Structures are given as C-alpha cells and as structure tokens.
Amino acid sequence: MNFDPAIFWQALTSQQFRDGALIAIALTVAAQLTAVVIGLVLALMRASGNRVLGAASWTYVWIFRAIPTLVQLLFVWNALPQLIPALREDWFSPFLAAWVALSMNEGAYMAEIVRSGLLAIDDGQQLAARALGMTPRSVFRRVILPQVMRVIIPPTANEFITMLKITSLASAISLQELLTYTQQSISITFRFAEYYAAAAIYYLVIVSVFMVFQAWLERRFLWTSQRGDAGGLATALRGKGAR
Amino acid sequence: MTNSTNPTDPTPTDPSAHRLLLDPALLGDAEPGVDAGAPSGPLLEAVEIHKRYGRNEVLRGVSFEVQRGDVKAVLGPSGSGKSTMLRCLALLEPIDAGEVRLEGRIVGVRPAGSGGRSVRLPEVELAHQRRDIGMVFQRFNLFPHLTALGNVMLGLTEVRGRSKAEATDIAGAMLERVGLGARVRFYPSELSGGQQQRVAIARALVMNPKVMLFDEPTSALDPELVGEVLAVMEELAREGMTMVVVTHEIGFAKRVADRVIMMDEGQIIEDGAPDEFFASPRHERTRRFLEAVN
C-alpha cells in the first residue's frame, strides 16, 4: 500500500479535520489561560508568607503534578458525575470536563513558572515602589506583574504548545477533537500514513501560529525605545533581527 | 544640570526667587514640601531605634534629629547599620524598639493597649505615610519596564491621583530640571548610571516629600558620573530640601552638610557640624575611618 496523496489531501481539507482542529485550539486556549490564572493565584499564595495559604498551594501543586494527566481527565469525566449528581446533566460535556481537568492540571505547572518569575524580580523593585507610597495592590499591578510577565513568556509558550498536544488525550473521553477524527477515519479506511500525516500538518500549522504570537509578545516586552514599529505582528514575522 | 550657577558655589540663592527643583507649582501636591509656615521643632527624629535580624542586632539605640531644611550626612564603615537605619526611617522595615517622628508625630506604628506598647501599621496605612518621605537607592531601582517619564509619572498617577495628562506635564518638567529633558522616552537600560540616578531623584522629588533620604546614591556609579548626581543633590540642598544622605563622598559632606553623623556597629558615635567633625573628630574610630576613606 503506497502513500495516496489524494486521500491525504481529502483528509487535510475535510470538514471533520477542520472542526477537530478548531476544538483542539479552543480547548488549548481556554485551558491554558485558565491555568495561567490558577498558577498566578497559587504562586501568590505561596509567596504571601501566610503558612496556611502556602501549605494549600504546595499541596495543590504536589497532587496535580503527581497524578497522570490522563487519570485526572478520566476522573473528572467518569468519577465526578458519580460523586456529584448535578454533573450527570447534558451540559457537562466532554469539552467542559476536559477544560476543567486540563486547566487544573496545568495550573500546578504554571504555579511553579509564575513562582520562578516572582523570584526573578529584584527586591529593590518592591522597595522603590513602596517607598513612593504605593499600596501593595498597586505595587503588584504596576511594578511586579509586568516584570513577571516578561520572565514567564518563554516557559508559558512552551506550556501552550504542550497543552495543544495534551488535548489529544481528550479523545479518551470522546471529545471530537483532531486525534479522535483521525482515529475514526483510520478505523474505517486503514490508511494510517495519510491520516496521521494530515493530523501532523494541522499540529505544525497551529504550533507555528502560536510561535509567531510568542515572538510578537516577546517584542512587546523588550522595553526599548528603539523598537521601530512598536512590535507589530509584521515585524515579529520578519524575525527578531529586523528593526 | 540645567542651572548656570557653579554647583560647588556654597552661596545660597534666594530660594523663592530661583527654584529649579522645588517649584511648588510643578510638584505633585498642592502643599509645598518646604513650607515657611510649618511648625517648629525637628522635621525628622529617630528616638532610640533598635533593629535586629535574627540574633544580629543591627541598630543598637540610634537617636538623632534633623531640622527643617538641614542636610545630614551619615558616614560609617559598611555593616555599621547606615542603610538599615535609612530603611527604618523610610518605614520600609519595622523597628523592634524606639520611635520615628515626622514633624513631631510618631509614624509607622499606632498605640496598642496599655503600657505604651505599639503595633506596626498595616501596609496600606504605611503607604500613606511614606508619601511624605522620598527615598533614593544605591542601585537606583528604576522600574525597567517604564520609560524615564513613566518612572517619574507612576507615583503621581498611582499615589497622588493625578490624571495622565497632568502627570506627564509634571514629570516631564521635573526630568527637564534634572537635565534629562532629552531622555524622557528612554528606558532605564538605555541610560547611564548617572542618568538613571537622576531619574530616581526626580521620581522621589515629584511626590513633593517633606524629607529626602539618600542611600549611598553615588556608590554604584563610575567615577566620572558621580559629579552630575551630586550637583543635583547640592541644588536640592540649596533650595531648602531636608535631606539625610548616607555617603562616602567626604567632599560632598564637607560642602553641603549642616551636620555629620558617624555610625559604627549600630550606634552613632559622633554627631557634629562638618568643620569640627572633619577637623578634629572626637572619636578615635572616626579619625581612623576618615583617614581610610581619604
């Protein structure tokens, strides 16, 4: 059996693959953004100096990093509705279950990334801000957070890409994402190479778009007056050397 | 410097007629920091301040006062507690015993229960009191994500409640006065050390503090950049700003200070007018220190 370009092209342009890819992207963005918020809260709890909050944050990270992601996903989809009757309704969809499971899992990793970002900020920054008479809230929002953002962009972009690939785990809970369609198509046609190749192309394209976005974001955080067009998308596409 | 007067010229100009840095109309608050009608008595007082980190007692009963409009130079070897003392005065560090008084009022704490005990104020209230105290750090501590203008504006918008437009005008004028009018759009990483420290001074000054604290403001600078920072500080002193300056610049202390303090091992061992302090130090430790730094 040879590689049939026609089947490959048909798969690549099919409605199902496009829908599957869109679901994968939607799940990735939703879960990762939620995870950033969870990670931020956990990291702040850890840095607060409050023993109870710190211990709670540590325990969360411990549990959610230790248990395999697939187990967490299956737990949320299969076990939670048994424990909580309200989740037996139709609205508790595979997408929602995957969103909850993946963002809670990823939140533990993001907590460590944000924590390293907080540790990277020189102590003199909060001293100078407090000396100006800024309130703790103001110090965090205007001085600490913008600097933490810059530090955590590269590792968070990494997590984003990892998240895209982890969404394929959700095929185990019948979410109709890219890998689910791939496997369904293969089970009918047995054309492994063509369908896997088509799926691979989708992942490549999606990750490439993420990377362009990352480059654009990093340029926005360059903090230089020599930025030319203020970090536009076109400049990001031309690469870092372009000025 | 933007002024044409010789920065080493000790002759005071009429402060109301010729204010480069402390023009009340351009500061971040309605009431000027240098106010002729203000109550008498010392502006800033340290009373028997004790401070320890773990088992290490860094300040062992530090007391002194600074009169309105005076410049107090603080000398002493590293590890003598100078920087810690400044941070305590700036309400950035809690003290273990003693009092800090600003215009006669105890700051940083409130009375708790009987027996003269007190507790540290919550951070939001401390923030409010810190608006009257300007602080300049050895390593500048400019905000790297903001331009020079953004650094000077931040306190005005976040603390003084000024609009963006007002803050831009005030901050721009202040940067002009410290000689950085052409650098407002530059980020800290694009400025020399001397320029960064002048931005830091402008950032503190624009809040219109009652007193300015300087923590070795020229120690992190290349030698050829020290002069431009000292010139701004001398102008500030000439215009009547009350200042406490921890420094190793003996020349600056001689020229500008009204009083000089020597600290050693967490205590003030000498406190005098510059003439006698430098000509005939009473304490042997002071004599040895002055010999070493000269």
A132 contacts in chain B (CB < 8 Å): 130-131, 154-155, 158-159, 203-204, 207
Domain that holds residue A70: 5-236
Looking at the structure of chain A, the number of domains it has is: 1
Residue A198 has pLDDT above 90, yes or no: yes
Contact B145 A223 (CB under 8 A): yes
Flag whether A242 is in a domain.
Answer: no
Residues of A with Cβ-Cβ distance to B203 under 8 angstroms: 128, 132
Percent of chain A past pLDDT 70, that is, above it, reads 93
- Residues A84-136: tens digit of each pLDDT: 999 999 899 999 999 999 999 999 999 999 999 999 999 999 999 999 999 99
**Averaged pLDDT of chain A:** 91
Q: Which residue has the higher pLDDT, A68 or A2?
A: A68
pLDDT (0 to 100) of residue B294:
73
Q: Is the pLDDT of residue A35 over 50?
A: yes
Q: What residues of chain B lie within 8 A of the CB of A221, using their CB?
A: 145
Residue A152 lies in a domain: yes
Confidence at residue B23, expressed as pLDDT on a 0 to 100 scale: 74
Say whether residue B139 is in contact with chain A using an 8 A CB cutoff.
yes
Q: How far apart are CA A7 and CA B250, in angstroms?
A: 84
Return the pLDDT at B2. Answer: 43
Strand duo B44-53 + B97-102: pairing: antiparallel
State which residue of chain B sits closest to A126, comparing Cα positions: B141
Interface test with A, best of B92, B102, B132, B145 (most A CBs within 10 A): B145
Nearest residue on chain B to A127, alpha-carbon basis: B92
Residue B177 pLDDT: 92
pTM value is 0.86
Model ipTM over 0.85: yes
Is the Cβ pair A124, B139 closer than 8 Å? yes
Q: Show the 3-state SS of chain B.
A: CCCCCCCCCCCCCCCCCCCCCCCHHHCCCCCCCCCCCCCCCCCEEEEEEEEEECCEEEEEEEEEEECCCCEEEEECCCCCCHHHHHHHHCCCCCCCEEEEEECCEEECEEECCCCCCEEECCHHHHHHHHCCEEEECCCCCCCCCCCHHHHHHHHHHHCCCCCHHHHHHHHHHHHHHCCCHHHCCCCHHHCCHHHHHHHHHHHHHCCCCCEEEEECCCCCCCHHHHHHHHHHHHHHHHCCCEEEEECCCHHHHHHHCCEEEEEECCEEEEEECHHHHHHCCCCHHHHHHHHHHC
Q: What's residue B22's pLDDT? A: 77
Q: Do A133 and B142 touch (CB under 8 A)?
A: no
The answer to whether residue A241 is domain-embedded is: no
Q: What is the mean pLDDT of residues A3-27?
A: 94
**Which residue in A134, A136, A225 is closest to B190 by CB distance?**
A225
Q: Do B154 and A142 touch (CB under 8 A)?
A: yes
- In the prediction, which pLDDT does A232 show? 53
Nearest-CA residue of chain B relative to A220? B145
Mutate to test the interface with A, among B91, B131, B138, B158 (most CBs of A within 10 A): B158
A243 located within any domain: no
Q: Is the pLDDT of residue A2 over 90?
A: no
> Would A60 be classed as within a structural domain?
yes
Residue pLDDT tens, chain B, 294 long: 444 444 444 444 444 445 667 776 666 554 444 555 556 789 999 999 999 999 999 999 999 999 999 999 999 998 899 999 999 999 999 999 999 999 999 999 988 877 777 889 999 999 999 999 999 999 999 999 999 999 999 999 999 999 999 999 999 999 999 999 999 999 999 999 999 999 999 999 999 999 999 999 999 999 999 999 999 999 999 999 999 999 999 999 999 999 999 999 999 999 999 999 999 899 999 999 998 887
**What does the alpha-carbon distance between residue A18 and residue A121 come to, in Å, rounded to a whole number?**
42
Q: Is residue A194 one of the residues assigned to a domain?
A: yes
Are the beta carbons of B159 and A129 separated by less than 8 Å?
A: no
Q: Which amino acid type is present at position B147?
A: T
Helix (H, G, I), strand (E, B) or coil at A1: coil
Q: Residue A200 belongs to a domain with what CATH number? A: 1.10.3720.10
Structure tokens, B274: 């510059």
Which chain A residues have a beta carbon less than 8 Å from that of B131? Answer: 132-133
**Residues A127-142: pLDDT tens digits?**
999 999 999 999 999 9
Q: What is the pLDDT of residue A226?
A: 77
A147 close to B (CB below 8 A)? yes
Report the pLDDT value the prediction gives residue A235, as an integer from 0 to 100.
Answer: 53
Q: Which residues of A touch B199 (CB under 8 A)?
A: none
